[in-house]
Amino acid sequence: MKFIKTDIEGLIIIEPKVFGDSRGYFFESFNQRQFEEKIGPVNFVQDNESRSSYGVLRGLHFQRPPFNQAKLVRCIEGEVLDVAVDLRKDSPTFGKHVSVVLSDQNKRQFFVPRGFAHGFVVLSKSAIFSYKVDNWYAPEHDSGIAWNDEALAIDWNISAESVLLSAKDKELKPLAGIELPSEFTMADYLK
């Protein structure tokens, strides 16, 4: 596996080594030893999967402590634009984001540590999205940021008219309008 650092500390793109022939392909989608050597110890406790159609945008989500989560995300079928926004208050990249295309073709994964908001939009006709988390889902600690926050200036590679949101995501506020947990710091991002 190849671990690629991004412009924001902690966000890592992972490219697997794919072995293919006339029968199809094989690759390791996760290797605990390599992951810990390159990123550090993370104890994933749950795997999640969603299927969505073109234009569905899920995010930008995060959970508040003590249920904040790190995620390892990938697109099993189709193509998505995946986005992570730095919410660590003492980070030099606070409020900045990294976008990466994840697809069944490139087989890339994206590691999003604690202290980030995360979201994705489906760019293909449909997509199956899968991710590991290191903490349990806790709806009472669920939070998020508006996908179209002008201060974040995220290019979602899709027209605003094509975006499909859940009722919950339609209610999300811009980053400037929410209070972030004090635990969202550089020191806490891998805990």
For residue 87, which of 77, 78, 98 has the smallest C-alpha distance?
Answer: 98
Whether cis (ω within 30° of 0) applies to the bond prior to 16 is: no
Q: Assess whether 131 carries a catalytic annotation.
A: yes
Residue of 54, 61, 141, 189 with catalytic role:
61
Report CA torsion sign: 179, 181, 186, 189. Answer: negative
For residue 120, which of 142, 152, 98 has the smallest C-alpha distance?
Answer: 98
Q: How many helices (H) and strands (E) does the chain have?
A: 2, 13
What is the Cα–Cα distance from 53 to 51, expressed in whole angstroms?
7
Distances (CA, A) of 163 to 67, 141, 148, 153: 28, 25, 10, 16
Residue of 25, 131, 141, 189 with catalytic role:
131
Q: Could you give the residue numbers annotated as active site?
A: 61, 131
